[in-house]
């Protein structure tokens, strides 16, 4: 676990350790004056444009959650305000696993990547950043219906079963995002990683539960529209935080579809503008669709399909039996009956048994370090399942302590052994039978021998649930995250030092920490040394408009020259100048 510190509160105090491992200190002092200028430009643009196109919850939420235009928000300041609506925010180490991201939401905690995009990526970055998270996600959670949707989504997301493919793709996407945000990264490294991702996508298997849920997350929480198909408003954080896509998404070039569970099967490409978007009539409808999807998940369906998903995932997961017994581990094998019911399951590596999310005494990973296997289901020729047998029934079938018995299960599983004792659940049903001198056979193949020790037969006529993660979080060491390698801070070039100083000087003037008569000196240095720094020139044009018109005109001249040399950012410069003009009109 990283040794970073952060300021906690009652909401954050509830977080389990396996989520705390992702939390980092925000390190507010690491933001440069250029970072602050990037934040200010995007937020001023949003403040100017979004009132016409964003859902009303966003505008009121900005005030409620402490998001302002002038400076990057402090996580501590946000938390003081968010706790009034029952939420909190934490800074995390860039991209974190989707399941962890969603599980934070289940605890009413908003995950915020505290880095901010580079100036070159001011319109959009594939890496989560504070503009996307704080300015996009935070304001909407002030709406109670949306906040409950976000929390419930987190609960289901934490239980959704992933695939081995999901994990491999995530690691490559995380690597690419980190490479792109480092100025010194060779283009060959980026190209190689992008090619690896394209190869993975070209051979994509059928989507896992987690991927289907991620699709719903994308088309609602990230890129959702609300209202009517003909006149929608924006509420998705990806759209609210992207000054390019917030305009593009409402154009006729983007198809608008009514939101439904079908969105779970619509994939997305994070590197391109979305060709279609989904429109929900209101926030409450999001929860209706989510529950409809939850009914398809293994956490509610169980059965052989759920066990098979866990086997395919190669990740830690849990099955729950009809007696309430929970088996947690990495599942590696299953035997089915001819009717398609689970007859036998096994895990490899550390395994724990629990009941009602609490580990059973004597059944930790220390007692089952190398895996666990058990027969399940019904006995051949007997209509009454073991779990439904009364003490009299058990005695009639000779399933009692200190007797050597043979149990023939459907699915051709035979168990011979000497009964030691049984463990009952809160309802008095048998859920575990301990046996010694035990043989477990399937069609003549030995699955367990007396040399393997005490055999613990799990009792359950069916698997009622299968989901990702352990039943009892304390059963396993889940602290596995390695924080991003923080290489020594690169030596700041003389040009960057000059940029930072001049951006800061303009900020000081705007915030009246430096006298206005310093503007000509600052302007002269910019015109001589940084006449291609478009955002710096925009800020100079803003503070000089009324005080030094000649400096304002000269700054505009350099900006027009940049437009000719770099037409790809012409719209950014023109938008910035329009903001200055519009704000001046408002003041007048």
Q: What is the CATH number of the domain that holds 360?
A: 2.30.30.100
Domain match, 310 and 280 both:
no
Asked whether residue 435 is assigned to any structural domain, the reply reads yes
CA–CA dist 15, 11 (Å, integer): 8
Asked whether residue 485 is assigned to any structural domain, the reply reads no
Asked whether residue 169 is assigned to any structural domain, the reply reads no
- The total number of structural domains in the chain stands at 3
Domain match, 464 and 420 both:
yes
Domain match, 465 and 369 both:
yes
Domain match, 282 and 315 both:
no
Torsion from C-alpha of 113, 119, 123, 129, nearest 10 degrees: 0
Asked whether residue 484 is assigned to any structural domain, the reply reads no
Domain match, 271 and 147 both:
yes
Asked whether residue 7 is assigned to any structural domain, the reply reads no
131-143: average pLDDT = 86
The answer, as to whether pTM is greater than 0.95, is no
Q: Which of 290, 321, 356 is at the close of a domain?
A: 290
What pLDDT band is residue 487 in, cutting at 50, 70 and 90?
very low
CA–CA dist 418, 522 (Å, integer): 89
Identify the residue with better confidence: 487 or 170: 170
Asked whether residue 185 is assigned to any structural domain, the reply reads no
Whether the predicted pLDDT of 483 surpasses 70: no
E strands, 357-444, in order = 358-359, 373-375, 404-409, 413-424, 430-442
Asked whether residue 349 is assigned to any structural domain, the reply reads yes
pLDDT of residue 485: 46
Domain match, 286 and 329 both:
no
Whether the predicted pLDDT of 488 surpasses 50: no
Asked whether residue 191 is assigned to any structural domain, the reply reads no
Domain match, 45 and 116 both:
yes
pLDDT of residue 14: 94
Share above pLDDT 70 across residues of the chain, in percent, rounded to a whole number: 95
With contact defined as beta carbons under 8 Å apart, do 441 and 365 qualify? no
Domain match, 324 and 455 both:
yes
Q: Which of 448, 475, 502 is at the close of a domain?
A: 475
Domain extent at residue 529? 494-587
Domain match, 364 and 513 both:
no
Domain match, 86 and 211 both:
yes
Supply the CATH number for residue 221's domain: 1.10.800.10
Domain match, 348 and 241 both:
no
Domain match, 418 and 502 both:
no
What's the pLDDT tens digit per position in 242-252?
A: 877 888 899 99
388-408: average pLDDT = 94
Q: Which of 246, 272, 290 is at the close of a domain?
A: 290
264-278: average pLDDT = 88
The side-by-side arrangement of strands in the sheet containing 23-24 is 23-24, 88-92, 109-113
Helices (H), 462-530: 494-510, 519-529
């Amino acid at each position: 676990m990283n040794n970073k510190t952060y300021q906690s509160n009652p909401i954050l105090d509830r977080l389990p350790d396996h989520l705390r491992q992702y939390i980092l200190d925000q390190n507010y002092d690491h933001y440069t004056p250029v970072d602050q200028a990037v934040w200010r430009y995007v937020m001023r643009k949003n403040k100017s444009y979004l009132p016409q196109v964003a859902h009303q919850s966003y505008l009121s939420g900005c005030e409620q959650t402490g998001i302002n235009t002038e400076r990057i928000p402090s996580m501590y300041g946000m938390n003081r305000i968010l706790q009034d609506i029952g939420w909190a925010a934490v800074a995390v180490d860039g991209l974190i696993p989707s399941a962890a991201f969603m599980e934070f939401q289940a605890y009413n905690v908003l995950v915020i990547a505290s880095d901010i995009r580079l100036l070159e990526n001011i319109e959009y970055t594939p890496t989560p950043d504070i503009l996307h998270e704080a300015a996009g996600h935070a304001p909407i959670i002030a709406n109670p219906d949306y906040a409950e949707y976000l929390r419930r989504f987190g609960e289901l997301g934490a239980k959704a079963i992933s695939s081995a493919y999901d994990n491999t793709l995530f690691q490559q996407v995380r690597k690419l995002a980190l490479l792109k945000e480092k100025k010194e990264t060779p283009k060959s490294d980026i190209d190689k990683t992008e090619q690896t991702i394209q190869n993975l996508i070209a051979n994509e298997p059928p989507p896992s539960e987690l991927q289907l849920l991620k699709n719903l997350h994308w088309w609602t929480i990230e890129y959702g529209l609300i209202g009517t198909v003909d006149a929608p408003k924006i509420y998705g954080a990806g759209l609210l935080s992207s000054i390019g896509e917030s305009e593009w998404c409402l154009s006729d070039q983007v198809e608008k579809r009514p939101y439904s569970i079908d969105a779970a099967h619509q994939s997305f490409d994070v590197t391109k503008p979305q060709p279609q978007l989904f429109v929900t009539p209101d926030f409450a409808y999001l929860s209706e669709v989510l529950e409809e999807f939850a009914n398809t998940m293994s956490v509610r369906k169980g059965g052989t399909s759920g066990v098979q998903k866990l086997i395919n995932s190669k990740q830690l997961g849990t099955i729950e039996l009809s007696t309430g017994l929970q088996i947690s581990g990495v599942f590696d094998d299953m035997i089915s009956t001819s009717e398609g019911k689970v007859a036998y399951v096994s895990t490899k590596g550390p395994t724990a048994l629990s009941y009602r999310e609490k580990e059973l005494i004597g059944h930790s990973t220390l007692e089952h370090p190398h895996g666990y296997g058990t027969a399940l289901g019904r006995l051949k020729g007997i209509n009454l399942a073991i779990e439904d047998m009364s003490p009299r029934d058990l005695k009639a079938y000779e399933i009692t302590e200190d007797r050597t018995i043979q149990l023939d299960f459907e699915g051709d599983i035979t168990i011979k052994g000497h009964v030691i004792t049984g463990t009952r659940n809160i309802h008095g049903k048998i859920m575990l039978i301990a046996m010694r001198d035990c043989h477990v056979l399937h069609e003549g193949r030995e699955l367990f021998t007396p040399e393997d020790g005490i055999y613990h037969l799990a009792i359950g006529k069916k698997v009622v649930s299968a989901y990702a993660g352990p039943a009892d979080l304390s059963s396993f060491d889940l602290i596995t995250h390695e924080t991003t390698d923080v290489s020594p801070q690169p030596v700041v070039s003389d040009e960057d030092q000059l940029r930072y100083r001049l951006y800061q000087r303009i900020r000081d003037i705007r915030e009246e920490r430096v006298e206005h008569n310093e503007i000509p000196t600052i302007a002269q240095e910019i015109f001589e040394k940084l006449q291609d720094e478009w955002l710096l020139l925009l800020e100079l044009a803003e503070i000089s408009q009324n005080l030094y018109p000649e400096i304002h005109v000269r700054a505009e001249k350099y900006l027009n020259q940049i437009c000719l040399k770099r037409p790809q950012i012409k719209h950014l410069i023109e938008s910035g100048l329009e903001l200055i003009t519009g704000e001046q009109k408002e003041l007048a």
